[in-house]
Structure 1
Amino acid sequence: MVENFLLEYAKLIADFPEKVKLERVKLDDDFTELVIYADKVDTGKLIGKDGRTINAIKTVIVGYKAKDTTSYRVTVKHLE
């Protein structure tokens, strides 16, 4: 569920939403990395000035943790 939210939110922010992809990497039983891949132009928009946008996204995901005991790390990377 958190993946769907993150993907849809990233698409709303991006100039090229068709290029936005999400990858879930399970690092441990209780720890997962969510990697957002976007166009190079959009990575800056997703991170935001001084990281404000990505930090706001992380705050929402931490709030989701009340339902899910998994910890998440969110990373933004540009498509090669």
Structure 2
Amino acid sequence: MITNFIENYARLIVSVPEDVTVTKKLIDETFAEITVEANSSDIGKLIGKNGNMINALKTMANGCKAKDGVSYKIQVIAK
């Protein structure tokens, strides 16, 4: 659920949406790592000015914690 949302959201923001891939890796039962890979020219757009865009994604992920009990870490990586 959260990975689909982040992928769709990221594709709306970037210039090259076909380069966006989102993967989710479960570390343990209560912690997961979400990795957003995008074109290197779009990394700044995903992070946003002063980190506002990535912080908004982290806020959404924290909202999902209340529903499924899993904490999320979000990383943005250039392809």
Q: CA deviation at 1:57?
A: 0.9
In the alignment, the residues of structure 2 paired with residue 33 and residue 65 of structure 1 have an alpha-carbon distance, to the nearest angstrom, of 13
Q: TM-score, normalised by structure 2?
A: 0.95
Matched, 1:33 2:33: yes
In the alignment, the residues of structure 1 paired with residue 5 and residue 47 of structure 2 have an alpha-carbon distance, to the nearest angstrom, of 16
Match of 2:78 in 1: 78
**RMSD (Å) for aligned C-alpha atoms:** 0.8
Match of 1:19 in 2: 19
Letter in 2 for 1:55: N
Q: Which runs of 5+ in 1 are unaligned?
A: none
Q: CA deviation at 1:23?
A: 1.3
Greater shift after overlay, 56-65 or 10-19?
A: 56-65
Same amino acid, percent of matched pairs: 44
In the alignment, the residues of structure 1 paired with residue 42 and residue 27 of structure 2 have an alpha-carbon distance, to the nearest angstrom, of 26
Match of 2:67 in 1: 67
Q: TM-score, normalised by structure 1?
A: 0.94
> Between Structure 1 and Structure 2, how many residues are aligned?
79
Q: What is the CA deviation profile of residues 11-67 of structure 1, one whole-angstrom value per residue up to 9, with x for unaligned ones? A: 000100000001111111110000000000111100011111000111111112221
Q: After TM superposition, what 4+ stretches of structure 1 lie above 6 angstroms from structure 2?
A: none
Q: CA deviation at 1:9?
A: 0.3
